[in-house]
């Protein structure tokens, strides 16, 4: 679908997922798995690790959705937090080109994090890259009763900014991001720098799919140049 599918002149806020959209957890997951598979040889381990990470995305999201429906997601997250309690340190890798894109976009529009990560991790990532002031709203797994792909997180972010969902764009790398946006009535942009694949993002209802989140900068610049 062409860029004109999204009326950029009517967009008043941008929402972003974290993993695979702003932070490079895809490559980090592949690297960690590659180390476990290193007995296969470096090249083979790398290829197999990437395939396993890509194939695990849909089942993982399905599992989270199932737990959400049964109201057991908070139990699972509490267990995860307890298991990781001994290591309180956070260190993230931002996707190349994302920081300048956010600085440019954030100078014209309010931004929001809409993620299934916890608030502590989201705040740590934004602080690590001096992005906190660009994000007046951060919607994490503690913010709403229901998680993506339910529309609640996207609706929460729009309401927090005093905007209608149709004035907002949700950017994410997985089908749950796209479905959450569409169900909320917001615009949906898929990116291929994370866990999702292009065909599944289109099938989920993306209005636009880009190679990387950083590519939003060129699209916004082109649109601004064409505006009267």
pLDDT band at 219 (very low <50, low <70, confident <90, very high): confident
pLDDT of residue 27: 63
pLDDT of residue 206: 97
pLDDT of residue 83: 40
- Quote the CA–CA distance of 98 and 206 in Å, as a whole number: 20
pLDDT surpasses 80 at 164: yes
Q: Which two tokens stand for residue 16?
A: 């972003």
pLDDT of residue 46: 65
Other C-beta atoms lying within 10 Å of the C-beta of residue 125: 24
Q: Which two tokens stand for residue 126?
A: 């934004």
pLDDT tens digits, 181-197: 999 999 999 999 988 88
Higher pLDDT, 59 or 108: 108
Residue for token digits 């967009």?
A: 11
pLDDT tens digits, 110-151: 999 999 888 998 999 999 999 999 999 999 989 998 889 999
pLDDT of residue 82: 47
Q: Which two tokens stand for residue 51?
A: 């395939």
Mean pLDDT computed over every residue of the chain = 81
Domains within the chain, CATH numbers bracketed? 7-25+93-226 (3.40.50.1000), 27-83 (no CATH)
pLDDT tens digits, 3-34: 458 999 899 999 999 988 999 875 666 676 67
Higher pLDDT, 50 or 206: 206
Which percentage of the chain shows pLDDT scores above 70?
71
pLDDT of residue 204: 96
pLDDT surpasses 80 at 81: no
- For 172-218, the DSSP string reads ESSHHHHHHHHHHT-EEEEESSSS--HHHHHHHT-SEEES-GGGHHH
Q: Which two tokens stand for residue 43?
A: 């090249």
pLDDT of residue 199: 94
- Quote the CA–CA distance of 119 and 95 in Å, as a whole number: 20
pLDDT of residue 66: 43
- Quote the CA–CA distance of 205 and 55 in Å, as a whole number: 20
pLDDT surpasses 70 at 57: no
Mean pLDDT across the stretch 66-76?
46
pLDDT band at 220 (very low <50, low <70, confident <90, very high): low
């Amino acid at each position: 679908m062409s860029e004109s599918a999204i009326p950029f002149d009517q967009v008043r806020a941008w929402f972003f997922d974290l993993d695979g959209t702003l932070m490079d957890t895809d490559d980090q997951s592949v690297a960690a798995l590659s180390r476990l598979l290193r007995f296969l040889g470096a090249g083979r381990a790398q290829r197999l690790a990437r395939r396993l990470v890509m194939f695990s995305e849909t089942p993982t999201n399905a599992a989270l959705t199932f737990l959400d429906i049964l109201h057991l997601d908070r139990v699972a997250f509490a267990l995860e937090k307890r298991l990781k309690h001994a290591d309180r340190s956070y260190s993230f890798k931002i996707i190349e080109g994302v920081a300048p894109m956010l600085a440019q976009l954030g100078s014209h529009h309010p931004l929001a994090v809409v993620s299934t990560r916890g608030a502590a991790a989201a705040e740590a990532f934004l602080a690590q890259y001096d992005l906190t002031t660009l994000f007046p709203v951060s919607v994490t797994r503690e913010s709403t009763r229901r998680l993506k792909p339910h529309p609640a997180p996207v609706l929460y972010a729009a309401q927090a900014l005093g905007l209608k969902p149709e004035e907002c764009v949700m950017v994410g790398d997985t089908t749950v991001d796209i479905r959450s946006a569409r169900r909320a009535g917001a615009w949906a942009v898929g990116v291929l720098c994370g866990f999702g694949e292009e065909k599944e993002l289109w099938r989920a209802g993306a209005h636009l799919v880009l190679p990387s989140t950083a590519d939003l900068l060129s699209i916004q610049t082109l649109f601004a140049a064409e505006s009267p």
